[in-house]
Amino acid sequence: MTYRVVTVFGGSGFIGRHLVRRLAKRGWRVRIAARNPNDALFLKTAGAVGQIVPTFANIRDDHSVAAAVAGADHVVNLVGILYESGRQTFGAVHHEAAGRIARAAAAAGASRMIQISAIGAAPESRSRYARSKAAGERAVLEAFPDATILRPSIVFGPEDGFFNLFAAVARLSPFLPLIGGGRTRFQPVYVGDLAEATLACLDREDSKGRTYELGGPSVYTFRQLMELLLKTIGRERALVTVPWTIAGLQAMFLGLLPKPLLTRDQLAQLKSDNVVAEGALTLADLGIEPTAAEMIVPTYLDRFRIGGRFADRRVAE
């Protein structure tokens, strides 16, 4: 059997692992390009022997990127960071490295490239994260004009960094913070739908050179998302408004932690709604019906429920 080869940068991350499993199920040979290939070894069992191959690549380095895309039919770039650390700056990772991958993919003769960006990516954004994502989109399209850009809102699903994080906070803390009153709007999209959208784009000629904004079926304020979370895990917690100025001061200190819980740039992002723009191409244009958060979130937050199957009994209720 001949497999088509797809290289997935960031394939060991949250979205990447869902995509890799689906690619393998559809018969692709998947090369997971990661800084620490050992972190991706667990995914090998999702395919036949030799079908999923973790390989070393640091996307800040020309040689390892070129080696990772050599012979690939398609390339997907999922690498992204939420905060800067050392040489992992927004500019280096979201902008320069995205362009590097696109140039390498074009040079290697790949026929498709999918770049995972984010809703809110815009050169005029007040967030450096969002500006670097926009610069990355431009760099990708310059080198690979047929590339498809996917911009998701918050992504949810097993092992996500959003509901799992706030559920963990709710287990320990008597309150949950609502920055600026929690009025920012989001349109969370299911990780499975994002993975299916990526697969659809790899197959569909009409997605070449296009940008899609991916959101779920409903828009929620941040407050509504916290209410949904608390209802799901069956806990009552106070929702406490944190004014923007106080949150700014907190971010100044929390942003100094090695793995910052809140940065000033994240605050800047929170000041804009994170929903699909009017007139944008969406999941529907790829033939995908979005999955509701209410359907999926309860399936993976059980351990945060009081008496849930894997509840941590050491935590006083």
Binding site for ligand NAP (CB under 6 A): 10, 12-16, 34-36, 39, 57-60, 78-81, 88, 93, 116, 118, 152, 154-155, 161-162
Least gap, CB of 89 to ligand NAP (angstroms): 10
Residue closer to ligand NAP (CB basis): 39 or 227: 39
Residue 15: CB minimum distance to ligand NAP, A: 4
Q: DSSP H helical segments within the chain, as ranges? A: 14-25, 62-69, 90, 97-107, 128-143, 163-172, 191-203, 222-233, 244-254, 264-270, 293-300
Residue with Cβ nearer ligand NAP (39 or 73): 39
Strands (E), the chain: 5-9, 29-34, 52-56, 74-77, 112-116, 148-152, 155-156, 175-179, 185-186, 189-190, 211-214, 220-221, 238-242
Report the 10 Å Cβ neighbour count for 185: 15
Token pair belonging to 170: 């709710």
Name the minimum Å distance from CB 161 to ligand NAP.
Answer: 6
Q: How far is the CB of 117 from ligand NAP (least distance, A)?
A: 7
Shortest Å, Cβ 234 to ligand NAP: 24
The backbone torsions φ and ψ at residue 247, rounded to the nearest 5 degrees and listed phi first, read -60, -35
How far is Cα 304 from Cα 290, in angstroms, rounded to an integer?
25
246 vs 271 by CB, closer to ligand NAP:
271
The tokens describing 38, both together, are 């050992």
- The amino acid sitting at 158 is P
Measured from the CB atom, the residue of 110 and 195 that comes closer to ligand NAP is 195
Residue number, 81 or 311, with CB nearest to ligand NAP: 81
